Amino acid sequence: MKKDDLNAELNSPELQESNDSLIVLDSNDLIVSCNEKARQLFLLSHLPIDKPLLLEYFWFELDMRVFHLSEFKCFTGKTIKLMLVSSGREAYQVSVSVETFHLLGQPYFCLLVRRGSGELGDDKVSSDYLMAKALSADMQRDLLELYYQPQINASDGSLYGLEVLSRWNSQEFGQVAPDDFIALAENFGFIAELDLWVLRHACQQLAKWRKQKINIPRVAVNFSPFSFDYPNLKNIIRFVLSDNAILPSSLVIELTENKKIRSIDYFSDMVNAIHDIGIDISIDDFGVGYSNLKRLLRLPVSQLKLDRAFVNGLPQKASKNLTESVLAISQAIGAVSIAEGVESQEQFDCLKKMGYEVIQGYFFCPPLPKSKLETWLCQKVC
């Protein structure tokens, strides 16, 4: 069969009138052909298409996760039930049958997508999908905003650095809490793109401040463990730093633990590779997620951030004992000790007396957008 014969077959009257969508993928997971029903459903205006996002998302309900085009080849000869949200924003149950054939010696995969009866009843998955799609679109249009929270040296009150935080005020969904939209990005498979978006914009802003002679010693950017699966991550980070003339020592990557880390060995190797560039690694919310000390010892930790849950209980004895234990671990591995969520003079005095080196929290300054942070810095320094 030639490619022209394949296209003719897909555009035959029988298939054009069918309610089923036919999509043909090559071995690189690119869409090389489809019938008219698939074009309408997925708004495929041109071929080939090299990004699964353009095909919308399939959702694998059994695992509660995105199902990508590249996974279909593993189901050759089988039928799998998925959810899809069409470009018309309707959510449907679908069954996808996968068959393989060869053309000119190359393997191709034919997907026959059949709609189930009625719309999907799971409003939560559908609404999450629509919100994730809006988040991805706003990110690509640079509509997210960065906030910055100062980190203060406990010894003399000088600026240690800034933690960079992303904020999303959606035209459709309003102000979305960071924990919520970060979870969406993780669940729908674009958390690495979000983390790298924050990194690029944070480095661009740091470069601008330094040109304006505003002294920011370092910026800390949060990275999800899932982001370390992203292809060529180390070199991308290196390029972002170089492109903005920023030394690796000016960047801190804060890690937050997730129980769904695919492979701790791979994760540790990737973190070590990035640390080898000269970037400091910080463990966020320590005492809550990273309770596995064996795992901690496998990571090149430069900073330990005490979780705010312990700070909130100060100066009560139980919280004080736990806080001192975290400090002892930090000192034992040679990491800078940072306490976040500090909101009162009493908490600050207690932490400083213990020996915590860096303090972060509303007691000094809340997270601020760029313009307000610049005013705060001027008042502090000028």
**Which stretch of 104-108, 168-172, 370-374 has the lowest confidence by average pLDDT?**
104-108
144-154 tens-digit pLDDT: 999 999 999 99
* Dist CA 199 CA 322 (whole Å): 33
Which pLDDT does position 48 carry in this prediction? 43
pLDDT > 70 fraction of the chain, expressed in percent and rounded? 80
Name the band, by pLDDT with cuts 50, 70 and 90, for residue 349: very high
Q: What is the mean pLDDT of residues 201-216?
A: 96
* Of residues 10 and 173, more confidently modeled: 173
What's the rounded mean pLDDT across residues 147-164? 97
The per-residue pLDDT for 382 is: 54
Q: pLDDT higher for 144 or 294?
A: 144
The whole-number pLDDT of residue 295 equals: 73
The pLDDT of 234-243, averaged and rounded, is 96
Burial environment of residue 72 by CB neighbours within 10 A (0 to 12, 13 to 18, 19 or more): buried
Q: Is the pLDDT of residue 104 over 50?
A: yes
Q: Which CATH number fits domain 126-381: 1.10.287.110, 3.20.20.450, 3.50.50.60, 3.30.70.920?
A: 3.20.20.450
Q: Are the C-beta atoms of 216 and 246 separated by less than 8 Å?
A: no
Residue 216 pLDDT class (50, 70, 90 cuts): very high
Q: Which residues of 322-345 are buried (b: 16+ CB within 10 A; e: fewer)?
A: bbeebbebbeeeebbbbbbbbeee
Equal CATH topology for 3-120 and 126-381: no
- DSSP annotation string for 330-371: HHHTTPEEEEE---SHHHHHHHHHHT--EEESTTT---EEHH
For the domain spanning 3-120, the CATH number is 3.30.450.20
* Residue 155 DSSP class: T
Break the chain down into helix, strand, coil percent, rounded to 5: 40, 30, 30
Top-confidence residue, 115 or 335? 335
Q: Is the pLDDT of residue 232 over 60?
A: yes
Res. 91 pLDDT band, cuts 50 70 90: low
Where residue 262 falls among pLDDT bands split at 50, 70, 90?
Answer: low
| Res. 4 pLDDT band, cuts 50 70 90 | low
Question: What span, in angstroms and rounded, lies between the C-alpha atoms of 116 and 113?
Answer: 10
Residue 147 has a pLDDT of: 98
Could you tell me the pLDDT band of residue 51, with boundaries at 50, 70 and 90?
A: very low
8/322: higher pLDDT: 322
Least confident of 24-33, 257-266, 330-339: 257-266
Domain ranges of the chain: 3-120, 126-381
Q: What is the mean pLDDT of residues 136-157?
A: 95
For the chain, give the percent of residues with pLDDT over 90: 46
Mean of the per-residue pLDDT values of the chain: 83
